Chain A
Amino acid sequence: MAPTTLLIDKHVRYIQDLGKHTDSLAYHLTAHLRINAVYWGLVALCVMGHPDALDHDDTLAYVMSCWDDDAGAFGAHPGHDAHIHATLSAIQILAIHDALDRVDVPRVTAYILALQQPSGVFAGDAFGETDTRFLYIAVNALALLGQLDRLDKDKTVGYIRQCANFDGGFGSVAGAESHAAQVFVCTAALAILDRLDVVDVPSLGWWLAERQMASGGLNGRPEKLEDVCYSFWVLSSMSILNKMTWIDADKLIEFILSAQDPEGGGISDRPENMVDVFHTQFGVAGLSLLGYPGLQDLDPVYCMPASVIDRMGLRKGWKALPRRPL
């Protein structure tokens, strides 16, 4: 039978055990996402009220071991090249641990700013793949580092405008189809830059509301399958636009809970599939925004524990559903 409550103890154990399988091939085949996985696991733990389940010193030592001194930014794992995505995860983990003083802020800031292209979009690394994901990552990272003043905001917003479609959504590059994950990155970047005036709220609110399927789960584009990770991509955008009431929260909670692995812990993309830490984090994040009882607040703009963003004074005007009593 599908679980009907959040199995917090199982998920905490699942996340704690992720780093222990160092002799498995799967561990090494996912090394290119390791620091991102640490961030996903840590945020899920914070939201579930277990921020100390991963060892503080080990975590910080691991993050610092991912530093790529040639590039002046972080890679996904020790010895891996610097990349903007790994760099944001490193900054986020350090911010959660109130340890941003370990970052070489001038070098990381220079690394990020140098990745902005003439169009305003950002590349992910020196080889130049561009995407609104990297633009959001740059904006988020600069905000966490207190360096947002260094960014050419008009140029950055200009590129997001180019990615806006008639349906109210945003794509990965200018001309691309609207996609829920790209809607999140563009909407959240605009929230950080105080430029939500760019969003066509009635159209986008409708488009987001129509992501809910009969199963209660959310999909990422019209006529596609539902997937737990869209719980975050869609709900974060809805909470930023204050439209959380436009879908059926109970049915979505039921869908996310049904994708848990009741034995080994963790959450998968949809019921009966293999779990992973990515879907575990975005499932838990979605539940937090839906007001699921007993969880901590998640800040949808930065995808960080809300308490951390509040402490840093970076909170923007989003609205989740009220926390339900236990």
Chain B
Amino acid sequence: MLNLNPEFYTVWNYRRNILINGIFPACSPAEKHETLSNDLSMTTAALKAHPKVYWIWNHRRWCLENLPDGGEGDDPQAWRRSSWERELFIVDKMFDRDPRNFHVWNYRRYVLSNMPVPRTAASELAFTTKMIESKLSNFSAWHHRTKVFSSLRTSSELDIHHYLPNEFEIVHNALYTEPNDQGVWLYHRWLMGTGEDRQLLEREIGVIQELLCEEPSNKWCMESLVRYKQMLLQNHSSTLGNSEAQNLVRQCLDLLRKLEELDPARRQRYQDLAAEVKT
């Protein structure tokens, strides 16, 4: 039934109920391990054919969560450890076919947070670097990178300020290679945070202005310049001179007028932003 229709959730439930009530009670740990390993193999095959079916991913999670203690040697975690480790390998295989599949990304984060021996955040960061290098426009990988950094920050495993120069170098290279890629601009926006650092804002405005000279009709450059100039106005008004502030307002309004012409589908938004800048 499940080969015919892997979304038939009632049959998945039925199967699990048979395992829980009919099979496992009479099983040795080794037999239970083997049964669940077989089900894991079954879902591997099913995912190859249907990589976006929630129910298959669910069953996989259920199998992993029900693995018994035991394994080769006296380590009670041995089976669990080897099964969870293998999951990251499966995830890599799935990414070879579709590096944007959000089921796979969510599953990866699930595996990382549940595996008996956690991976270091540094190795996860290296993984996102590899994914980004193979395809710059993979926003899923950029997004994941923001989450890895956030987890690093809370676990104090490393100081983001130590990483920032390198991050800006990566994102500048990406912006110059793919200046029309929305995802890279989003990542830049994340790096900039709330714009408390005036020097950083001014430096990045300079970088983007240079890029705009090379790409005079790039709307992402203009959009970002408006945002960062607005941040200067909002967060640093006390240290800006009067004429400097007026200049920034004028520059924002000029950019927004250009954006209206360049991107008429979103004209109303640029007009709304201009009204905001004026106040």
Contacts and interface: CB of A to CB of B under 8 A. Distances in A.
A58 to B, nearest CB: 23
**Taking chain B's interface residues, is the majority helix, strand, or loop, or is none over half, making it mixed?**
helix
Given A129-B58, A221-B139, A223-B137, A212 B5 contact: no
A76 B62 CA distance: 22
Top-4 shortest CB links A-B? A248-B265, A245-B268, A246-B269, A222-B182
B190 A172 contact: no
A289 B144 CA distance: 33
A31 B1 CA distance: 13
Contacts of A179: 102
A29 B143 contact: no
A173 B106 contact: yes
Nearest to B136: A223
Chain B interface residue count: which class?
35 or more
A32 B54 contact: no
A81 B181 contact: no
Contact of A125 (B4, B13, B100, B264): B13
B58 A222 contact: no
Contact of B268 (A126, A223, A246): A246
B102 A222 contact: no
A176 B181 contact: no
A44 to B, nearest CB: 22
Interface of B: 4-5, 7-10, 12-13, 16, 54, 58, 61-62, 100, 102, 105-106, 109, 137-140, 143-144, 146-147, 181-183, 186, 189-190, 264-266, 268-269, 272
A167 B147 CA distance: 12
B13 A176 contact: no
A212 B268 CA distance: 14
B5 A32 contact: yes
A271 B5 CA distance: 26
A251 interface: yes
A13 interface: no
A31 B144 CA distance: 36
Interface in A233-281: 243, 245-248, 251
Contacts of A210: 182, 266
B105 A177 contact: yes
A247 B265 contact: yes
Contacts of A81: 9-10, 13
A275 B266 CA distance: 29
A83 B13 CA distance: 11
A324 interface: no
Interface string A61-85: 0000000000000011001110100
A150 interface: no
A175 B109 CA distance: 8
A176 B102 contact: yes
Contact of A29 (B5, B54, B100): B5
A79 to B, nearest CB: 8
B13 A127 contact: yes
A94 to B, nearest CB: 22
B259 to A, nearest CB: 12
Nearest to B223: A206
